[in-house]
């Protein structure tokens, strides 16, 4: 990879709070560990400092807030403001820092144009596609979804890809979708959104025997938005309590989002409010401990055109912590995990989910076998392997001091 002294710094741009985006953090920290200097331009909450250094990563926060759960107009206004502010900040910083590469994280795809002035100055640009943006918006804003808006989103995706030198994405089904839509295979690398197994290690936390306190503890750690069918989870819990009144069940939903109010109301309607806890979002570093204190990890994703090419990182995190996983039966989940690892349920079917959960309760031998097979698969997909592929892309593209690669 060349001497550390010969490397120019790397710049990342992300429309997110850096501390809350595990993918961006893993990539940035892996580069720092390999000897690169890394700057990140992200969002800033009120009261936060403009700059910070986190695990060796230099963070610059711009005064743009994230409006989770807002309307389409608010989202696009927020994206536009951040695009122009990050473009100005990145270009200004480049004259001082002389970056060897800039990496833009989605959403939105067209944030890549924040790096356009640097592209004109022959700085390589990497577009890291975390999501399938056309499908994401069609599912998230179904009232505005029509053939015209979808074609516009497809156009911006193609233009964004054309504005980059290299593409990264998070799984093979999404990569295949991009190839079918014209992305060149030699410009596309899959770097999975896998957990760092040094952090997500069951050996770092007290071991909880299954239902050690006589309570079945279910955990979900992620966004509380309509993308995730947490309403189905609540109905499954209600069904389990009806079928097994002597089985004590507790569900903890860690996270925040615009579905919180409706889920609390549904829990009251189902008369399970006392069994459901919603403590809000926990820091990334606290997620492994929250999983370790549970019995079953829930990865419930609503099936639509977006989720057909997505893989919830929750599946991998639960598996890394050696917890049995109940997940929605989705194409990408089945692509990476077979029927004998995760306990899969039919999308949108609370009875199917309840059955999957109760099977894990009733069949200890199968439960333990699934845990071991899942942990092995997660180890094969873990961040250590993904970091090698990622660093190879950066090493190939990033300019070195003196203009050489």
- Assess whether 371 and 230 both reside in one domain: yes
- Assess whether 103 and 162 both reside in one domain: yes
Q: What's 86's domain CATH number?
A: 3.40.50.2000
Q: Does residue 60 fall inside a structural domain?
A: yes
Q: Does residue 187 fall inside a structural domain?
A: yes
- Assess whether 230 and 164 both reside in one domain: no
**Model confidence pLDDT, tens digit, residues 218-241:** 999 999 988 899 999 999 999 999
- Assess whether 209 and 186 both reside in one domain: no
C-alpha span between 157 and 155 (Å, rounded): 5
- Assess whether 172 and 240 both reside in one domain: no
At 104 the pLDDT is: 98
Which pTM does this prediction carry? Answer: 0.87
Secondary structure (3-state) at 40: strand
Q: Is the dihedral of CA 107, 108, 114, 119 positive or negative?
A: positive
Q: Does residue 403 fall inside a structural domain?
A: no
Q: Does residue 404 fall inside a structural domain?
A: no
| Residue of 296, 267, 300 lying closest to 358 (CA atoms) | 296
- Assess whether 11 and 155 both reside in one domain: yes
Say what angle helices 230-243 and 260-269 make with each other, to 10 degrees: 20
C-alpha span between 228 and 159 (Å, rounded): 29
- Assess whether 104 and 242 both reside in one domain: no
**Number of domains making up the chain:** 2
Q: Does residue 42 fall inside a structural domain?
A: yes
- Assess whether 211 and 138 both reside in one domain: no
Does the pLDDT value for residue 143 go beyond 80?
no
Phi-psi sector, 297: left (phi>0), alpha (psi -120 to 50), beta? beta
As a whole number, mean pLDDT of residues 18-44 equals 95
- Assess whether 183 and 250 both reside in one domain: no
Residue range(s) defining the domain that contains residue 122: 4-194+383-397
**Model confidence pLDDT, tens digit, residues 264-278:** 999 999 999 999 999
As a whole number, mean pLDDT of residues 369-374 equals 96
- Assess whether 39 and 144 both reside in one domain: yes
- Assess whether 68 and 145 both reside in one domain: yes
Q: Does residue 358 fall inside a structural domain?
A: yes
Burial tier of 34 (Cβ tally within 10 Å: 0-12, 13-18, 19+)? middle
As a whole number, mean pLDDT of residues 64-83 equals 75
Q: Does residue 280 fall inside a structural domain?
A: yes
**Model confidence pLDDT, tens digit, residues 42-61:** 999 889 999 999 999 999 99
C-alpha span between 133 and 106 (Å, rounded): 8
- Assess whether 393 and 377 both reside in one domain: no
Element (H, E) at 371: helix 364-381
In terms of pLDDT, which residue wins out, 285 or 105?
A: 105
């Amino acid at each position: 990879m060349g001497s550390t002294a010969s490397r120019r710094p790397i710049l990342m741009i992300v429309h997110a709070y850096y501390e809350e985006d595990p993918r961006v953090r893993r990539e940035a920290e892996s580069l720092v560990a390999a000897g690169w200097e890394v700057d990140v331009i992200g969002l800033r909450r009120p009261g936060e400092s403009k700059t910070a250094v986190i695990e060796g990563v230099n963070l610059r926060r711009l005064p743009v807030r994230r409006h989770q759960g807002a309307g389409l107009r608010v989202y696009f206004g927020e994206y536009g403001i951040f695009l122009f502010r990050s473009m100005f900040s990145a270009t200004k910083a480049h004259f001082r820092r002389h970056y060897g590469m800039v990496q833009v994280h989605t959403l939105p795809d067209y944030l890549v144009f924040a790096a356009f002035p640097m592209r004109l100055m022959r700085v390589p640009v990497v577009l890291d596609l975390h999501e399938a943006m056309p499908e994401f918006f069609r599912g998230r804003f179904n009232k505005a979804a029509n053939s015209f808006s979808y074609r516009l989103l497809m156009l911006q995706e193609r233009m964004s890809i054309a504005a980059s030198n290299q593409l990264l994405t998070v799984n093979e089904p999404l990569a295949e979708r991009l190839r079918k839509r014209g992305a060149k295979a030699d410009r596309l690398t899959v770097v999975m959104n896998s957990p760092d197994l040094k952090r997500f290690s069951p050996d770092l936390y007290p071991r909880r025997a299954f239902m050690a306190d006589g309570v079945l503890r279910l955990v979900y750690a992620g966004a509380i938005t309509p993308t995730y069918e947490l309403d189905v989870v609540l109905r499954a819990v209600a069904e389990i309590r009806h079928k097994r009144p002597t089985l004590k069940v507790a569900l903890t939903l860690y996270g925040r989002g615009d579905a919180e109010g409706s889920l609390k109301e549904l829990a009251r309607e189902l008369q399970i409010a006392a069994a459901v806890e919603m403590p809000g979002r926990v820091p990334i570093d606290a997620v492994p401990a929250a999983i370790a204190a549970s019995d079953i990890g829930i990865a419930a994703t609503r099936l639509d055109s977006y989720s057909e090419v997505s893989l919830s990182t929750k599946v991998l995190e639960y598996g890394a912590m050696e917890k049995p996983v109940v997940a929605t039966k989705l194409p990408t989940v089945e692509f990476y995990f077979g029927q004998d690892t995760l306990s899969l349920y039919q999308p949108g079917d609370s009875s199917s989910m309840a059955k999957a959960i109760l099977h894990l309760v009733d069949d200890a031998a199968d439960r333990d076998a699934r845990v071991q097979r899942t942990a092995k698969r997660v180890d094969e997909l873990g961040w250590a392997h993904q970091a090698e592929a990622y660093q190879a892309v950066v090493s190939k593209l990033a300019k070195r001091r003196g203009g050489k690669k």
